[in-house]
Structure 1
Amino acid sequence: MSFTSEEIAYLQSQHLARLATVGPDGQPDAVPVGFEFDGTRFYIGGHNPENTRKFRNVAAGHTKVALVIDDLVSTDPWTPRFVRVYGTAELISRAGRFDSARYLEITPHVSWSWNLAGQPFGPGNAGSFAPRRTVHTSQSPSPAVP
């Protein structure tokens, strides 16, 4: 399976995510990141990315990552929505938001989306909200460019 058209539209409308990687000592590290999404994979770049903990963690072989893209449509009424992704990351070179540079390419393995329609959440309808879980088909990674 892959992302639905609703999930793709939501992901392409967002600009900020939270990325969790794991360091060589087992310590999880979560950081806000800008991202690009091509409908299948996510790309995390930045300025001097090799100097960041997230890049060093993946370069050290800790390739399992979690990515959360979320926002609040409204605070009154409370209206959150999100996509959460578990996947693997690898370091690649590509042209993207940060020009031609090194990026983390994240291949999703499992994702969950919740309330992308932006329905208010409250005591009267709390039971009607359930996340959509998707197991993504195996996809070969993009070729890395030296």
Structure 2
Amino acid sequence: MSFNAEEIAYLRSQSLARLATLGDGGQPDVVPVAFEFDGTCLWVGGVGEAVLRTRKFRNVLAGNRKVALVIDDMVSFEPFIARAIRVYGEAEGPVERTGMVGPGLYLRITPTVSWSWNMAAEPVGETWYKPRRAVHRPQAGQ
């Protein structure tokens, strides 16, 4: 199982996410990041060598490869309409590539488990949104 068509469309329509990494001593760190989705993996990074000094890169390079990423938006407050995808995954990098912010160094995040809710952008109603859970399997060659 992987992302379905609605989730893929949503991931490709968004450009801002929150990335959580784990630092020394077990301290979680979360930061807003620009991201892109290539159909399989999510990418975050930047231009220039300075990106290697960011906490997210330092945490991953120190061997803390498990990450969490949330992509969400608030469609409306009245009525209340929220959508989101939460991804647990493994980060690796740095990878030299040309991404949405240009040529640079990026972390490749391979999803392991994801949860999405309200991809149809419906008002919340009487009960909270029911999430869709997907377990992601690595594709051949990864």
Of residues 104, 107, 114 in structure 2, which corresponds to 1:104? 107
2:31 match = 31
Deviations 1:72-117 (A, max 9, x none): 1101111011000000000111111232211010000000000010
Gaps of 5+ in 1: none
* 2:40 pairs with 1:44: no
Give 4+ residue runs of structure 1 displaced > 4 Å after superposition: none
Q: State the TM-score, normalized to the length of structure 1.
A: 0.90
1:65 match = 67
* 2:23 pairs with 1:20: no
SS at match of 1:90: strand
- Percent sequence identity is 59
Q: RMSD of the TM alignment (CA)?
A: 1.4
Distance, in Å, in 1 between the alignment partners of 2:96 and 2:89 is: 19
Shift of 1:141: 7.0
SS at match of 1:62: coil
Aligned length: 139
Q: Which amino acid aligns with 1:117?
A: A
Q: Which amino acid aligns with 1:4?
A: N
SS at match of 2:81: strand
Q: State the TM-score, normalized to the length of structure 2.
A: 0.92
Distance, in Å, in 2 between the alignment partners of 1:121 and 1:96 is: 35
CA contact (8 A) 1:107 1:139 kept: no
